[in-house]
Amino acid sequence: MSQLSEEFLVAAAQKSADLTHRSTIKRNMDSYDTAVAKGQTRFADWEAARARSAQVKSEGIRNLASLLETFETKIIARGGHVYWAENSEDARQYICDVAQRNNVKTVVKSKSMVTEEIHLSPALEKLGMTVWETDLGELIVQLRKEPPYHIVTPAMHLTREQIRDLFLEKIPDDVHGETHQELVSAARRFLRRAFFSAEMGISGANFLVADAGMVAISTNEGNGRLTTSLPRIHVVVTGIEKVIPRLEDLGVLWPVLATTGTGQPITTYSTLIGGPKTADEIDGPEEFHVVLVDNGRTEVLADEAQQELLRCIRCGACLNKCPVYRQVGGHTYKSIYPGPIGSALMPIFDGVKEYGHLSYACSLCTACNSVCPVKIKLSDHLLENRRKYVAEGDARLSEKIGFAGFRWAAMSAKRFAFFGWAGRKVLRGALAIGLSPHALGPLATWTKYRAVAAVPKDSFRALWRKQNGTH
């Protein structure tokens, strides 16, 4: 069992017993569920919207090379730069080089999971730059020195009181009250100074639009607009899988993303950026860079069983619906992408040995499949990862022996009946002499929290025969 796997089990047990945490998450999730249910009623046929979204993303993945080349050509024609980064280090190095070449002192960032994935902020900070997250939730977790709790709502786990105390400690001069409105205003005042002093703005991308050669970025707060408008340099950091064929596809994708992300009809600022300011424009960045990050995505593409994972639009719906995520919370996963999509992707991105255990943080209830707006069958991928986990030899020895034994026993009806009979005998005997159910070997984890049912005298097949008279 890996270190991360053990840490997951400990953190999961602690978090699921933390009633304050559960109550905070429940309030957030209930609010989300209500908003999304209402949002879906705006569509004549929500399932048709999901089907179309999946088609567009699938078309993007099937034509990835040509669409990325079309996108690149258009960006370069507008005076932008496109860099293809094979891995995290490559992407970090390029962005750090651009920053150093331009003598950047302050960087503002709009929320981007890919920048978390490539560990960009620490690299810039190591070079002496100040980096500010500008999404409110991201700023909050940055001030707490925590990773995002959720890919859409990074500070979902915190209460207003916790955020008030944090702001009073970290940005006291900007705090003029403690209501929700006043705390938001405090962050606004604090970040305004950063926006107007930053030389570089870094954003992610929700979509890369091939035929228009533009980057689509959705934000509600407007931090994305400020990040991409005020600094002299704008760098977009994005996965290669974000490309879609046509601008008009956003007529479905924008409303679908907003609905599954927050329940809104559309995100407040649904923005398209194609390059640096043009000669006849009055403002905007003078330099524009798009960093196309591979970092394992072409490996996902090469795997026919798992390539559909590249359709993901990072809406967070699978996290919100997952009964495991709702109990253990985002930080327990200790991975950049938590929840079902993270459990599916992280073993591919960062290794089955490190993250294979996350595939087991799932009851295979398939709730994630039912809400995914691009129809990814997430539970299939978790099963596939489990197969890889075992095939690569990372499963526990006791598990391997147990399943090998079960397989051998189950291959013969006689052996199966014999071991069933023996098992019942041993179990009844153990309980009869007062052995604690918690000491029942591999069943200990199960019996720790559950009463052991009475062990029947007869097997299921014997009971069936008695009742029906046949096999």
Partner 1 sequence: MALTNTGRARILDRIRKAHVAADPTIDGVTVTLDQIYAPIGDPMERFLAECKANLTEVKVTGDLKSSLHAFAELLGPLPVGTLYVQDDPTLRKFADAFAGRHVIWSSTGRAPEDCQAAITLCEGLVAQTGSIVGSSRAGGRGGSIIPPTHIVYATSDQLVPDITTALRKALASDLKNASYFGLITGSSRTADIEKILVQGAHGPVKVAIVLEIK
Query: Which residues from 135-164 bind partner 1, rule CB under 8 A?
Result: 135-137, 140, 153-155, 158-160, 163
DSSP H helical ranges for 364-412: 367-371, 378-391, 397-410
Judged by CB under 8 A, which of 6, 97, 169, 392 binds partner 1?
Answer: 97
Match 């559950």 to its residue by tokens: 450
Instruction: Count CB neighbours of 311 within 10 A.
Output: 20
By rule CB under 8 A, what string of x and - marks binding of each residue 183-212 to partner 1?
xxx-xx--xx--xx--------------xx
Judged by CB under 8 A, which of 3, 181, 468, 470 binds partner 1?
Answer: 181
Instruction: Mark the segment that binds partner 1 (CB under 8 A) among 53-61, 312-320, 379-387, 392-400.
Output: 53-61
- 286 binds partner 1, rule: CB under 8 A: no
Instruction: Report in angstroms how near the CB of residue 247 gets to partner 1 at its nearest.
Output: 5
Token pair of 262, please?
Answer: 């927050």
Q: Based on CB atoms, which residue is closest to partner 1, 296 or 358?
A: 296
Instruction: Report in angstroms how near the CB of residue 24 gets to partner 1 at its nearest.
Output: 8
Instruction: Report in angstroms how near the CB of residue 386 gets to partner 1 at its nearest.
Output: 22
Judged by CB under 8 A, which of 15, 21, 52, 321 binds partner 1?
Answer: 52
Instruction: Report in angstroms how near the CB of residue 336 gets to partner 1 at its nearest.
Output: 19
Query: Which run of H or E residues covers position 290?
Result: strand 287-293
Phi and psi torsions of 20, nearest 5°: -65, -45
Give me the half-sphere count of Cα atoms (radius 13 Å) on the Cβ side of residue 122.
9
**Three-state DSSP class for 219?**
strand
- 55 binds partner 1, rule: CB under 8 A: yes
Judged by CB under 8 A, which of 251, 323, 405, 441 binds partner 1?
Answer: 251
Binding positions for partner 1, 2-41, rule CB under 8 A:
24, 27-28, 31-32
**Three-state DSSP class for 214?**
strand
CA distance 361 to 287: 44
Contact residues for 315 (Cβ-Cβ < 8 A; gap 6+): 152, 257, 260, 261, 373
Q: Based on CB atoms, which residue is closest to partner 1, 4 or 300?
A: 300
Tell me how many helices (H) and strands (E) the chain has.
23, 10
Instruction: Report in angstroms how near the CB of residue 225 gets to partner 1 at its nearest.
Output: 4
- 51 binds partner 1, rule: CB under 8 A: yes
Cβ-contact 251, 167 below 8 angstroms: no
Q: Based on CB atoms, which residue is closest to partner 1, 8 or 167?
A: 167
Judged by CB under 8 A, which of 7, 11, 43, 390 binds partner 1?
Answer: 43
Q: Based on CB atoms, which residue is closest to partner 1, 82 or 318?
A: 82
Q: How far is CA 10 from CA 6, 90, 332, 352, 446, in A?
A: 6, 35, 9, 20, 15
Judged by CB under 8 A, which of 39, 239, 255, 330 binds partner 1?
Answer: 255
Instruction: Report in angstroms how near the CB of residue 323 gets to partner 1 at its nearest.
Output: 20
By rule CB under 8 A, what string of x and - marks binding of each residue 374-393 to partner 1?
-x------------------
CA distance 156 to 3: 27
Binding positions for partner 1, 227-246, rule CB under 8 A:
228-230, 240
Token pair of 350, please?
Answer: 């960062």
CA distance 120 to 113: 10
CA distance 74 to 245: 13
Instruction: Report in angstroms how near the CB of residue 173 gets to partner 1 at its nearest.
Output: 18
